[in-house]
Amino acid sequence: MVRGRDGVRQVFTDNTAFHRADGLFDLPPGRPWSGMFDAVITANGAEHTRRRKLLMPAVHRTAMAHYREVFADTFARSRFAAPGGDPFDLKQECLRISKTNLMRCLLGFDEAASLGPFADRIVTLGTTAADPRVLLFRRDLPWSPYGRWLRRVAGAYDELAALIAGRRAADPRPDALSILYHAVDEDGDRLSTEEIAGSCTGSSRRASRRRR
């Protein structure tokens, strides 16, 4: 906002000037889901550069063309595009459009699936983490809000991992999840299941922040 495009580019690419951190969403180490909120925006140094390269296909112009088609289709089926029509809740319709676009472009769900419980769990993980009851007592106990939230994170990771495994067995698709799984750099490196899950959850968390 202050320095324009060049300033934004520096924040995202200059590893010598910026250290990216997001301690609010740090998870207990040593679990399969420990990196659920680790994304390119929180990586540093060579790891940041590596992830940026592997994420580039998901924002290539061909991928963006698919996302644009999805956005247009979602809007065409929204209450905004209905001729005449009855009054409706503006906020809820905007939320529905945002979530539908996110789940169709990111995870490749159709509209009906994108509005289901799984989509809600993914999208709301970040917002519920900011609940003071979760933040103030970060102890992994079965009865604590933080412990219950960790169970939600673990469950969401298991579902995402199963979805990623499904993409592994399928032909490439235009959604970002499939693109990320099939992306390979010049050294033959690719993102792991944990890294893809973190990238997807990080995107969902940023989208939920924008909706608020």
Complete DSSP assignment for 4-42: HHHHHHHHHH-TTT-----GGG---TTSTTTTTT--GGG
Considering only residues 2 and 181, tell me which one the structure prediction assigns the higher pLDDT: 181
- Domain of residue 86 covers 4-211
Judged against a pLDDT cut of 80, whether residue 129 lies above it is answered with: no
CATH code of 14's domain: 1.10.630.10
As a whole number of angstroms, the distance between CA 187 and CA 164 comes to 22
Mean pLDDT check: name the lowest of 122-131, 140-149, 170-179: 122-131
Considering only residues 11 and 69, tell me which one the structure prediction assigns the higher pLDDT: 69
Q: Quick one: what percent of the chain has pLDDT higher than 90?
A: 13
Q: What is the pLDDT of residue 211?
A: 44
Count structural domains, the chain: 1
Q: Give the mean pLDDT of the chain.
A: 81
Q: What is the pLDDT of residue 71?
A: 95
pLDDT digit string (tens) for 155-212? 889 988 988 888 887 888 888 888 988 888 888 888 888 888 888 776 655 544 444 4
- Helix count (H) and strand count (E) of the chain? 10, 0
* pTM of the full structure: 0.72
